[in-house]
Structures are given as C-alpha cells and as structure tokens.
Structure 1
Amino acid sequence: MLEAIKQGVDVLEMDVVVSKDLVILLSHEPYFHHEICLDPNGNRIYESTQEAYNIYEFTYEQIRNTRCGTFAHPRFPLQKQKSYYKPSLSEVIDTVKKVTELLGKQIGFNIEIKARDEWNGIFHPDYRAFADLVAGIIYRHGIIQQTTVQSFHIPTLQYLHRAHPSLKLVLLVDEDEDLAEKYKELGFTPEVLSPHFSHVSMPWIKFAHSRGMKLITWTVNDAETARRLANMGVHGIITDYPDSIFKAVKIN
C-alpha cells in the first residue's frame, strides 16, 4: 500500500476478511494461501490443504505471528518480496493517514468485502455482521467521504444500502458473470459499477454516465488495454502495476 502511494495512486484497493475474534484484516483469500504464506508454525503450506488454514479460525494475535510474502509470488514476478503478517484494516488506515498527512495529500480507500453465500459461518460470520464490522471501522476512522465499499456478493451490498445508507457502494462483476443481469438483481443504483475489463463497452459507459455512476474497471495490467479503456471514457482503472499504467495513461 505504501509503495502504491509512492507511485502516485489516488485510491487504494484492498480485500478484507475476518478473524476468529472479529478483527477485520487484509487478505485476498479467507485462508493462508500456499503460494506466499507459511503456516502458524513456520512450515510450508500445500495447495491441497490451504483452506484448512482458515483465517476465521485464527485469532488476530495468531495471524500477526504468521508470515506471508516469504516466497516470490509466481504470478507477480515484479512484486517486491517482503515477509510480513496480514495487517488489520484499522492498522492500514492509520498508517496511510499518517503517511498522506506528511505528503499533504488524501488517499481514497476501496474496500472489498470478501463474502459468499457458501462461506457464511465457515470463512466469515453472517454477511450482515461482516458488513457491520467493516462499516464500523469506516465510521470510527472518519473516512466515509473518501471510501467506497465493494463486493461481488449482492446480499452484502443490498444490506449495506439499507443499513448504512451513508456509505458509497460498488457493484463488482466478474468475467464470467452477466453484467446486465447482476445490475438488475442488485435493485438499486450504486455509486460505482466495477466490471471486469472484458465487459467494458461504449454502451455500458454511456449507461453508467446516464445513471450517475462511475465505471471503474479491473484488473488491467497491460498498457495497451489501459490506453484503450481510458480513451473509451472509463472513470478509473484498478491495476496491480500502477507505475507502468501511469506511464501509459493518465486518468483523471
């Protein structure tokens, strides 16, 4: 996150999960992934058993003592290798606020709630409780105006829309999902429509504009695609490589 700030991003995108003691923390999966993490005893994790290292079954103290980033990521060879623990969302917000205050700039937070129907009670608490925990952190840190909350999970977004109307919401649409059907199923107009870049077309960009939504696409890691999408008029691009994308295109 701090490296991304150095590279000039205006929004930090992050995925969050829940610990056994209900601490919200950053993680792409709700378990320790075999490609980059050791187990709590410092041993290698295997793909066949990685889901057994369920973060929802560990306290945050245990998680802080479990290292990730020990191995070079096979799918992100340019990523700087650093052994670290999975930080809490509150810790990340506090650190980012301190750094950006020194730099005299404000950074947005785009927080993805990693909820699924089949994960309820297994990898996370009831999705409404999960959403409430995330909302509470946003309120306590005073970052409502600079934060969006996104999810692929429609019930989570629908609950947030009812229970936390002050939050700005983002509908995520995966590559293999039907964009029109998912938007219709949501039942309200979110602040941001965020489809996989393969879904982006001029009709959808015009539709988003007509409904007052921003269209922010993901995950774009090559310059040619980024330039094409920028020229089409997307409002933003989510990328793993902000430095190279910045060199290719500037999106305001």
Structure 2
Amino acid sequence: MISCIIVLSILIMIPGVQPEFDLQGHRGCRGLLPENTIPAMKMALDLGVTTLEMDAVVTGDNKVLISHEPWFNSKISTDPDGRPVDPGTEQQTNIFRMTYSVTQLYDVGRRGHPDFPQQKKIGAVKPLLADVIDAAEMHADSTGRPKPYYNIETKCSPQGDNVFHPAPEQFASLVAGIVLSKKVESRTCIQSFDFRTLKYIHAEFPALRTAMLIEGHDKRSLAEQLNELGYVPDIYSPNSSLVTRELVASCHEKGMKLIPWTVNRIEEMKQLKALGVDGLISDYPDLYRQLK
C-alpha cells in the first residue's frame, strides 16, 4: 500500500502525467462548501482530489471569473444591498456587463444551496481564475501535497456570444493566457459543451489538453460527436447516465480517457469504476475515501 501511494504521488508531480484514476472535485466540493470558491477548492485538495474542476466566465473588463452561470444564480446569491437575487431577474445580473470590482459586492455562500443541505454556509465571492490557481498552488505547497490538476470549463454558447460572454476565440484566449502565465499548462485541461472553444484551444494552444462535455440527452453516436468536434480530444466527459462498457472501450480505442459527471453516490462510483472509466467528477469528493 505504501509503495502504491509513493508511485501515485510521483505520477501526480510529473508535469503532464496524470495518475491512473483521476478524482475530480466538481466546482471544488459543491456538496460541502459554496461552489466555485477558493474555500471549496482548498477543501477539495484536503480531501485528496487529483483535479479541481471549475467553470469560467468573463467580466465586462475582461477578467476571467470562476462561476457556473454568467450571472448571479438566485438560489445562492445575495446582492450588494443584502437581498437575495430575484429568480425572475437573475439574468440581469449579467457578469459580462459588470466590472470585476462590482462582482465582488455579491455574496454567493452565506445563504447556502437549497439542493445541497450538507453545504456549509460561509460568506464567499466569485474569485478570479488567477487567484484560484495561486491559492491552490500555495495550499498544496503549505500542506505538502502534490500540485493539483485543473479542469476549466468555458461557459459559453452561440446564443450568448457578446451578450453573456465574448466570442469563443477571445474567451478561449483569455483563459489560456492565464493558464500559461501561471505556468500550469501541463496540468490543465479545458472542457466545454461548446466545441468552438475546444477547436480554438486545440489549434492555437496545443500544450493544453481538451475534454468534450456531453449532455445526457445527446443521443448521437461517438463517431457523430467526434465528427462535429473535428479531432480526437484527450478526454470524453459525458453525463454518467450515458456510460456503458462499450462506450468506455470505444473511447480507449481512440486514445481518449472517459471521465463522467456528476457522480454523487458511492454505489454509482463503484459501478462506473468497474466499467473501466478513467476518473470521476463529484460534488462530494469526501466519498472518494470509500472508493476501492
């Protein structure tokens, strides 16, 4: 057992070499602490994740902010006046129309999340991607654990271009620029449901790995999905409901890893691992300790 742990640690520390099984913390550890915040990322590291999974949006002054929506989600957000954000007008809190300094006036943690009753309520803001990387690197150093990997989703769509985010080329360039400036490109993957950003990253930033995200309702064949993307990415990341042993085998035949999302029950984790998946993405990375 000790020798296995040593080998795993060595693999994590070698740039560009991921361990055999990739344990990812979804939005940090959304089930336990406010999503996409620095405290959630640090806790995920303490729980032993390999990779920090997160979502990126862009502010009006071209800062890359970590947030699942390009606005302030009414389920979790409190406005600068201390009032819960109204569900009917939440999209008017458009981060792409705000400066970074204005976004920091909103709280996204002290109300908790109604869908995650175990989540601890703490005051929190949406952080910059650069600050998340700095905090994660420092936390790893201070706790003596290997440096983490990063899985960053570009939250964009054709309908949102220049409304909720910049055009895909600019969006991808902003994210990639931060990753390169922090010198973590060998430990970073860019994922998206919007294949436009993946194509641009693949062509212009080949040092970065890419992952294609697949919704549960997407019933196209793997070949059809890859045909739309136009190349074979490093990772195929479908909704966990789509995973079969045959799909895992097909991905491996093409040289792709398969890492499903979002897996929040230990029984499902074990079932998926038995099917041969290469990792898991979970809101509850504390469950990984029970995974054999």
TM bucket normalised to smaller: over 0.9
User: SS at 2:134's partner residue?
Assistant: helix
TM-score, normalised on structure 1? Answer: 0.96
Counterpart for residue 234 of structure 2: 191
Structure 1 contact 173–179 (Cα < 8 Å) conserved? no
- In the alignment, what sits opposite 1:9? 49
Closer/same/farther in 2, CA of residues 107 and 179 from structure 1, 3 Å limit: farther
Q: 2:280 aligns with which of 228, 237, 243?
A: 237
Q: CA deviation at 1:161?
A: 1.2
**Distance in 1, Cα, partners of 2:242 & 2:135:** 35
Gap regions ≥5 residues in structure 2? 1-40
1:165 aligns with 2:206: yes
- Correspondence 1:153 to 2:187: no
**Contact 1:19 1:56 (8 Å CA) reproduced:** yes
Q: Distance in 1 between matches of 2:191 and 2:137?
A: 21
Q: Is the 8 A contact 1:39 1:53 kept in 2?
A: no
Runs of 4+ in 1 over 4 A off after TM superposition: none
Conserved? CA contact 1:115–1:153, under 8 Å: yes
- Equivalent of residue 128 in structure 1, options 160, 169, 189: 169
TM-score (normalizing by structure 2):
0.83
In the TM superposition, residue 178 of structure 1 has moved relative to its aligned partner by: 2.7
Q: Residue 164 of structure 1: CA displacement?
A: 1.3
User: How many Å apart are 1:179 and its aligned residue?
Assistant: 4.8
Q: Describe the superposition over 1:119-168 as per-residue Cα deviations: whole angstroms up to 9, x where unpaired.
A: 00100011110000000001000001111010000111111111112210
Q: For structure 1, which segment, 76-85 or 130-139, has the greater mean C-alpha deviation from structure 2 after superposition?
A: 76-85
Percent sequence identity is: 38
RMSD between aligned residues: 1.1
Distance 1:126 1:171 in 2: 19
Aligned mate of 1:204, from 247, 255, 261: 247
- On the 8 A contact 2:57/2:154 being kept in 1, the answer is yes
Task: Tell me, in whole angstroms, the C-alpha distance in 2 between the residues paired with 1:196 and 1:133.
Answer: 27
Question: Partner residue of 1:101?
Answer: 141
The more displaced of 185-194 and 69-78 is 69-78
CA distance in 1, matches of 2:166, 2:228: 23
Asked if 1:40 is matched to 2:83, the reply is: no
Give the aligned partner of residue 113 of structure 2: 73
Give the drift of 1:69: 1.2
Aligned-partner residue type, residue 168 of structure 1: R
Q: Does the residue aligned with 2:85 lie in a helix, a strand or coil?
A: coil
Range moving further from structure 2, 38-47 or 78-87: 38-47
Distance, in Å, in 2 between the alignment partners of 1:210 and 1:184 is: 16
What is the letter of the counterpart of residue 177 of structure 1? D
**How far apart, in 1, do the equivalents of 2:195 and 2:187 lie?**
22
Structure 2 counterpart of 1:29: 69
Which structure exhibits the higher relative contact order, with contacts defined as CA atoms closer than 8 Å and separated by 6 or more residues?
2
- The correspondence for 1:223, drawn from 266, 274, 283, is 266
How many pairs align? 249
List alignment gaps of at least 5 residues for structure 1. none
Query: 2: distance between equivalents of 1:115 and 1:166?
Result: 22
Given residue 267 of structure 2, which amino acid in structure 1 is its aligned partner? E
The partner residue of 1:175 within 202, 213, 216 is 216
Write the mapping of 1:51-90 to structure 2, written as runs, cut at 5 A.
Answer: 51-90=91-130
Q: Which amino acid aligns with 1:72?
A: G
| Residues in 2 aligned to 1:244 and 1:164: alpha-carbon distance in whole angstroms | 34
DSSP 3-state at the match of 2:207: coil
